Each structure stands twice: as C-alpha cells, then as structure tokens.
Structure 1
Amino acid sequence: MGFGFDFENILSKAAETVDTASKGAADAAGAVAQTVSSAATAAGKAAIDTTKAASKVAGSLTGTIAEGACSAGRAIAASDIGKAASGATDIIGGIAVGAATEAMRQANNVVSDAASAMEDGVNFLKDNSFSARLKRARLESFKHGMKQGIYLAGQRRFDFYYAYLAILCFFLRCDGEFSKEEQDWLGNSLESMSFGESLPTSVKARMREIASNETLTFDDVKEHLDKVSLVSLDAIKEHIQIAVELDGEVTEEEQRADRLFSDYVAARAVCISLDDNWADKVVEKSVREYGENIERINREFREKTKLQDEDTAFVIGATMLQVVRVLAINALTQIEDAGQCNTKEQVLHDVQNDLFQKFNDSGAPGSTPLYASKHHILTARGVPYDATRYAGESLKLFQGANHRFATLGHDPVLGLLFGTANIMTNSITCVKSTGTLGIGLRIPMTFSVAYDFTGKNPQIAEPVSTIRMLINSGKRVVEEPSAAAAALIKQIVHIGTDLYTPCGIQLPFANLALDKAHVEKLTEYVSTGDVLKVGAQAGMAVLINWLIAALHGCSLIFKDDASDYAFDLHQTRTKKIILISNTLATSSSVIQAAITKNPKCLDLGGAAVLVYRLFTDLSFIARLKEEYVNSKLDEIYDTRERELLG
C-alpha cells in the first residue's frame, strides 16, 4: 500500500497529547495520594484501637505510680529523719550518723530515680500515643498514595504508547501486506518512540510484541484503545487521518479500517460523561485496593501471630507454674501465731541449730554486763531485746508485744546493727520520743538485760550507754568474729520468725519517725513481710516469664523459617502466652482471696508484672503490626515502581 508519512512530525504532536494525558494522570495521582491517605488514616486508627484502652489504663497507672513514688521520695527527704540523724550524733556517735546520712542519700536517690523514670515514662507515652501513631499512619499512607499515583501516571502514559502503536500497525497491515520496507521503517520508528526518555525494558518488550503480531485484529486494538482517554483517541485519529491522506491515495482497506476506528471513537464519545470521570474511578479503585491490601495484610498478621497447636503446651505449662507460685507464696507467708505451733518458726530454728552445730562452743560460759558469752549466744532460745519484764520498777518502755515497735532490734534494717550488737552484749535498745503528736525526734536508749543462773528469764535492768554498747560489740567483732557471726545469724532468724505473725515486723526506720502506737497501726496495714511477699511474687513471676520465653524461643531454632519478621512474629506469640498465663494466675489469686476472705492472698506482685506487660507487650505488638503492614504495602508499591521503571 502507499502508506508514507512523516513519523517524527506525528510523534511530536503525539507527545503533546502524552503531556496532556500525563497531566491528567498526575492530577489523578495527587487525588489518589490524598484519598488513600485518608483511607489509610482510618485503617491506621483501626490498627491501634486494639491497644488504645489498655495503653491508656496502663499509662495512667504508670504515671500514678511514678508520681506517687516521686511524692514519697520528697516526703522522705523532707521528713524528720534528718533531724533524728542530727540528734543521734550526740548519742550513738559516728556509726549512727553514717547510717542516717546513708538513709538521706538513698532518699535523694529515690527522688532522682523516680523523676528520671517519670520522664522516661512520659516520653514513652508520647511515642506510643494515639496521635503519634495516627500521624505515622498518615505519613505512610501518603507515601503509598504517592507511589500509587506515580505508578498510575506512568501506566497511563505507556497505555497511550501501546494504543498508538497498535492502531498504527493495524493500518499498516490492513491491506494484507507488510513489506520489508514497512517492517524496517516500523522498527526504526519504535526506537525513536521514547520521546526523549529511556523507556523501561518491559515497556519496550510489550511494544515489540504488539508490532510483531501478524494476526492483529481491531478487537486486539480495542483492548489498548479502551485504556486511553477520549482526548487521546481524537489526537490519534487526527494523526492517522493525516497519515492516510499523505500520498493522495486511500485504498478500500484503509477506508474500512478508518471507518472501524471512527465508529469506535464515536461510540466512546457517546459515553463521554463516563469517560470524564475516569480520574474519580481510578481514585476510587485505588482507595478500594488500598483498603483491601490493608485488610489482607492484617489477616495475614493475625494468622501468623495467633497461637499454634504447639503453643498450647506452653500456655498450660506457664499457667501451672504461675498458679503454683501464687499458692506456694501464700502458703509460706500465711499468718501464724508465734510459738511452738508456728511451723515456719520451727523450720527456721532447726536451720539455726544446724548452723550453730558447726560453731566451736569453747570458752567461758558465763556472761558479764555488756558481754554475752558465745555459749549463751548459741544456746539461749530467744534474744535479749525480746525481754518484756523489768528487774526493778517498770520503766514503761512498752507493753507486751508492743515491744517490737519500740526496739531497734526489730527493725529489719537497723536491727542488723543494733539487734546483733544487743545479742552480743545482752542488752536492749529502745527509742525515746521527744516530740508531740507521734512525730518528732527519737533518741536511742540502751538497757542491760539480766538472765538467771540457767540463762533464761531475761529482765530489763539498768540503763547503759548506747555508744559503749556499740563499742563493746565492735571490739567483739574483731576479737571474736565467730561470736559476731553467730549473733548475726540469730538476728536474721529471729526477724524471719516474726515476719508472718499477727504483729508482724514494721517497715525499716519507721520507729525513728513515728511513736510506738503509730508504728503499730501502720504495720497493721503494711509490714515488712507484706513488702517482701509482693517482691517475691513479682520476682518469681518475672523468673517464670523469662523461663517460658527462653523455652518458647528455643522452639524457633527447630523451624526452618528464614522469612522476614519470623523472629518478631514468634516473639509476639511468646508474649501472648505469657500474658494469658499471668492473667489466669492472677485471677486465681482473686478466687482464693474471695474463698478465704483474706485480701492478703491477692497476687499483688504478679498483678504489677501483668499490668507492666500489658502496657509494654501490647505496645510491642501494635508497633510490630504497624511495621509489618507498612513493610508489606511498601513491597506492593515498590514492586509497581520497579516495573514502571523497568
């Protein structure tokens, strides 16, 4: 056929059409980015709603705890402990001063650590707040929207290339001939069809495929024409019309091909209203696709992080260990009356006797004022600061069991110094109040304790110097360390036997700040035994959690899974196992407390660990889900971008 025309001229005009199409596609890209960003904002909101409530509660609790700790630290630092330490210097010398100074230093450290912990907590809350996560979701969705927009704009331009080439080849082949000259011309034309840009390899391959299709029909051409706008079709029709009439001769085949193309353009023009809304359709389709991708990835994440069959054994094992921990600690810390019927007291005394059997009980058995022989330390049942009777007239230091809250030997911390010294010197050190309303300076006062000829029936005798008592016990440590060691063992065992009795043991330093009555009242609500119990509950819960996490983590070694996020997804299942077991164990303590009507059976330490893990683990899972979803979306849109760029 006589088909000849200036291909470069036509392409330059087509380039203008491409610019128009690209501009429309770019506008659509912006709309896609904006609308997809809004859709993903809602999706991001839904992704973090699962942890919003728990994070709010746990965050509130954490802030309250930190604020309470900070307030407690300030109260300690500003209390009368400093005044008591200053007054004690004149009485007990440098040792007491050092102890009081250390107490003040520790109090200041509490304030500093609490403030630092509170600041870290606030920063953590900010990073994991609803608004922060929503902002990150917006940024990620806008990025994905831009990639989708770029992809659509580029694809629109390439669709124009395919349509233009397809209709051109159809006209070249419409007369049934495709000469060697036409083939060479078309091949050279394909090389110049990039409009000054480097086309991706995939686009060039597709164009060569269209050009080499010897059975190309108009139905095949329509598949490409359907993907371009009416404006682009008009431009192509105009260029083809010019090309057909260039040689002044129009064959019947060319006329028939031209009619097919004109009819197609006219049919498309009837649907112009629909065609004008193509950008809205593209945006709608992209948003719908984005939502479907998020939903699919969320389902995939839930599927990979839900507990598997092999995880059931870990849940059962972890729950059993945690429940045993709750029951065992409650049994060991059960309140029992002091005396022969107290099983814990008997066990501790048996341990003490076994240890004392290893000591060499040599030397003079008799005791003198401010000196207890090692034989007396090893064989006497009780301790001198447990004496409640007076050798002479009543000194009114305390009444009965109230002596625990008046003697420094029963202080769980100060007792390590004063209680041990009292045992080595057969003495008792009490505190004398010089303040009013239960608050004021407490001055340590020491009295000797006399025993009968059998080494029993201790009675409080005359007052002695506290400094002299401490000096004598200090010399004893140097001269007879075995006696000092026996006295220290006896002190620790005695505190242990009194921890879980009805009176209990007061909090450290309490009787330096409060009088006997207020210390006793405070101990009714919270004692050293309660603090140790809660600490043991929390410590054992953490230990069991660590053990379960280690064992469950080892199971990943036997799985051949080298996929992305394999370890993090497995770790999420581990955290779920621990959360379930901790929740069941803490709930079991509530049931036990309700049945026994004893609130001290509550697993407060385990509950604190559970609240902490709820806060941290749910935040971890939410962050991992956010990273996982964004990573999978990045894969989708980055793949399209790579395909676009070849």
Structure 2
Amino acid sequence: MNSEIFRNRKKQMIEDLDDTVNKLKNKHKEAVMARSTVENTGQILDNLDKRFCKETGLTESDVVFLFLATGLQIARQYLLSNDRCRLDAKQGDKAVESVLSLAPPNWKDILTQSVPYDAIKTGSHAFATGLGGSTHRYRTLGHDPIFGWVFGTANIMTNSLTKTNFETYQVKNMQIVRHYPLGVAGMLNRAVSYSVNDPKLLAVSVARQAIHFGSDYFTKQGLPVPIIATIDNELAGKMVSEWNIDMWAITRGMTVAAFINQLIAIIHGLFYTGTTRMERKLYETRTRKILSYSNLIATSSNTAVVAITHNMQKLDVGGMAVTIYRLITDAKFIRQVKEEFIFGSYHDMLIN
C-alpha cells in the first residue's frame, strides 16, 4: 500500500469519525433538550395553556361582534315573543285549503275533513270528557307532535279519540259517542287490522295527520310541547293557553336564534387573515366564544326579565335550547382545539 492511498484512507477515517462525533453531539444536545423539556413539562404546559388563552382571547373587533350578536338575540326575543305572528283556527284551515286546491276532489275531501280527535260534543253515553274548544289540543294525543303520529293517525283510521291519559272514545259525525270497545288497545288493534287490509287508508290517514298538524301549528292555541301533556296535563294547559309556549313558539325561537348565530359566524369569518390550519381553528374558537357568550347573555337577560315581570309569555324556550346546544358543542370544540394546540406544540418541542 503506497503512502498516497494510506493518507486518503486516514483522511476518510478522520472525516467519518468527526461526522460520528458531530452526530453524537447533536443527539446529545437533543437528549439534553428533551430531558429539559420533560423535566419542565408542567411549566411548559402551563405556558402553552396561557398562550392558547391569549391566542383565542376576544379582540376589540370580536367584542363588537359580541355586542352585535347579543343585541340581535335580545331584539329577537321581544320582537318575536310567544304571542306574536299567529293565525286563528279559521285562518289555519284556509291556508291548508289553499295548498290543497289543486288536489283531485275526492282526495281533497278526504284530506280536509275534520279529524275525530277535534270532537268536543258528547252523546248520551259519554260525559265529563274534560274536552272543550280551548282544552282539547293539550288533552288529546292526536295533537301531540310525537305521539300524534301514532295515536292521531290511528284515531283518524278508526274514527276515535284518545286522551293524554289513554282514555279512548268512539266518534261519529264529530260527536263523542261512547268509550271505545276494549279501550286504547282495541282501537290500536283495529287500526293495525285496517292498515294490513287497506294500506292506502294508512297512507291517507298519515297525510291527514300531517295536514292537521300544519293547520294547527301556527294558530293561537298551537300544538303542545311533546310528551308534557301526558306527564302533566295541567302544566301543558298553562303552557298552551296562558303562556303561548308551544311548538310554533319554540321552533320559531330556535330557527331565528340559529339564523342569527350563523349570520354572525359568516360575517366574523370574513375577517380571518391566517394561513395555517391551526390558525383557522384558533380563529373559529374566537367565533364560537362570541356565539356562546352572546347566547348566554341573551338567555340570562330573558330569564331575569321573566322572573321579575312574571310574564311567562316572554320566556324564550327556543332560544334557551339553542344556548344549551351552543354551550355544549362549542365547549367540546374549544376543548379539542386546546388539546391539539397544547400537546401538538409540546410534541414539536420534543422532536425539534
């Protein structure tokens, strides 16, 4: 082996050794940094938590959106209180008739005839039913927005009426004739039998039930809140007749509240200037805070007003439902983003 080859090999070995030493030094530095990070995990996580709070804290422009959203929600509560925007029973029926004006005559007659659970007149064999013009909606299962699809449809098929205590009557020419043979079980059994023998009757009865819901939905008495009438009939009566808290009031409140939330979220999103995925999530966290805070403030103020004035017609049940939904879903989203931000940043510290 000549000296030139030897020198080249020696040089290569020294370079390889230096490279190995440098790599070991770098790994040692990384190990030292990782050890330092691990030893100070508590402090680092606390700092990241503070950083997250700072990154997602409401800015001056966010506060403007907060007041705007709160103002819109409060205005909605009092401009669209439970007793506003309602039809009387005749107007409701007229609206349904106009929708069905193009239907074939025979179907139109079937679909617009009175439903048996609207009967309040009694015959000689039925008395003290407790049903009247202002009480029958919260005392009959046919008007329950959930149970009505079963019992109301069955009542239409069998010309019967079932009260919220499941007491069932036979109806003829819109007059309560007598208790139904074998009660609610006999009525349901006959309805099932009719459905099997004539499926079209079931289809028409379901359609009639839906149409009746539609005609009653927007009226002054409205449709009672599902299931409550079965549990506490007196409470259901107060909610419908005195407080105007029914399905129309609740769903209207929920719809308008959700619309305002969506509108604010869209407008606030237009001011986003970030570029990364995490920045997008942090900005959305601020958006959700605006919505949660505004909904909570509006609901709290509404509850306070109702408590002070004792005017239950002002109670915004639909808005409360939206507020509860937002608090739950927004808190879950913020928690997930916070975990991703903190532990993602911590992971980057360990590997970088």
The bucket for the TM-score relative to the shorter chain is 0.5 to 0.7
Q: CA deviation at 1:413?
A: 3.1
Q: Does 1:334 align with 2:83?
A: yes
Residue identity matched to 1:501: Q
Residue identity matched to 1:461: V
Aligned-partner Cα distance in 1 for 2:125–2:115: 22
Change (3 A) 1:565 1:420: closer
Match of 2:152 in 1: 419
- TM-score for both structures, normalised by structure 2: 0.62
Aligned-partner Cα distance in 2 for 1:432–1:628: 55
Match of 1:587 in 2: 300
Candidates 581, 601, 608, aligned match of 2:316: 601
Cα deviation 1:150-177 (Å, max 9, x = unaligned)? xxxxxxxxxxxxxxxxxxxxxxxxxxxx
Q: Does the residue aligned with 2:121 lie in a helix, a strand or coil?
A: coil
- 1:74-153 to structure 2, matched below 5 A, reads none
Q: CA deviation at 1:322?
A: 3.5
Instruction: Verify the 8 A CA contact 1:592 1:601 in the aligned structure 2.
Output: no
Q: Does 1:501 align with 2:224?
A: no
Change (3 A) 1:564 1:388: closer
Change (3 A) 1:522 1:475: farther
Q: Does 1:322 align with 2:73?
A: yes
Q: CA deviation at 1:580?
A: 3.4
Change (3 A) 1:418 1:583: closer
Aligned-partner Cα distance in 2 for 1:413–1:563: 46
Instruction: Verify the 8 A CA contact 1:542 1:609 in the aligned structure 2.
Output: no
Match of 1:409 in 2: 142
Q: Which runs of 5+ in 2 are unaligned?
A: 1-28, 182-186
Aligned-partner Cα distance in 1 for 2:342–2:292: 21
Q: CA deviation at 1:391?
A: 2.7
Q: CA deviation at 1:578?
A: 2.5
Instruction: Verify the 8 A CA contact 1:397 1:406 in the aligned structure 2.
Output: no
Instruction: Verify the 8 A CA contact 2:116 2:161 in the aligned structure 1.
Output: no
Aligned-partner Cα distance in 2 for 1:620–1:462: 60
Residue identity matched to 1:343: L
Q: CA deviation at 1:608?
A: 0.7
Instruction: Verify the 8 A CA contact 2:157 2:201 in the aligned structure 1.
Output: no
Instruction: Verify the 8 A CA contact 1:568 1:624 in the aligned structure 2.
Output: no
Aligned-partner Cα distance in 1 for 2:172–2:157: 11
Instruction: Verify the 8 A CA contact 1:387 1:460 in the aligned structure 2.
Output: yes
Candidates 92, 100, 103, aligned match of 1:348: 92
Q: Which has the higher contact order (CA 8 A, sep 6+)?
A: 2
Candidates 160, 170, 173, aligned match of 1:428: 160
Q: Kindly, what percent of the aligned residue pairs are identical?
A: 22
- Which has the higher Rg, Structure 1 or Structure 2? 1
Aligned-partner Cα distance in 1 for 2:300–2:228: 34
Match of 1:390 in 2: 122
Q: Does 1:520 align with 2:233?
A: yes
CA RMSD of aligned residues (A): 5.0
Match of 1:460 in 2: 176
Cα deviation 1:466-491 (Å, max 9, x = unaligned)? 3556656887763797x657733442
- TM-score for both structures, normalised by structure 1: 0.38
Instruction: Verify the 8 A CA contact 1:405 1:519 in the aligned structure 2.
Output: no
Q: Does the residue aligned with 1:523 lie in a helix, a strand or coil?
A: helix
Residue identity matched to 2:306: A
Residue identity matched to 1:507: P
Instruction: Verify the 8 A CA contact 1:415 1:491 in the aligned structure 2.
Output: no
- 1:176-575 to structure 2, matched below 5 A, reads 298=51, 304-308=55-59, 311=62, 314-327=65-78, 331=81, 333-334=82-83, 343=87, 345=89, 347-361=91-105, 375=109, 378=112, 383-400=115-132, 403-404=136-137, 407-420=140-153, 422-423=155-156, 427-430=159-162, 445-450=168-173, 458-461=174-177, 466=187, 478=200, 484=205, 487-493=208-214, 495-496=216-217, 501=221, 505=224, 507-508=226-227, 511=230, 519-521=232-234, 523=236, 537=253, 541-542=257-258, 544-556=260-272, 559=273, 561-562=274-275, 565-575=278-288
Instruction: Verify the 8 A CA contact 2:253 2:316 in the aligned structure 1.
Output: no
Instruction: Verify the 8 A CA contact 1:424 1:487 in the aligned structure 2.
Output: no
Q: CA deviation at 1:628?
A: 7.2
Aligned residues, how many? Answer: 310
Change (3 A) 1:422 1:621: closer
Q: Which runs of 5+ in 1 are unaligned?
A: 1-25, 51-297, 337-341, 364-373, 434-441, 451-457, 512-517, 639-646
Change (3 A) 1:629 1:520: same
Residue identity matched to 1:505: P
- 1:45-56 to structure 2, matched below 5 A, reads 45=46, 48=49
Residue identity matched to 1:355: V
Residue identity matched to 1:601: D
Match of 1:199 in 2: none
Candidates 608, 613, 616, aligned match of 2:332: 616
Aligned-partner Cα distance in 1 for 2:277–2:117: 66
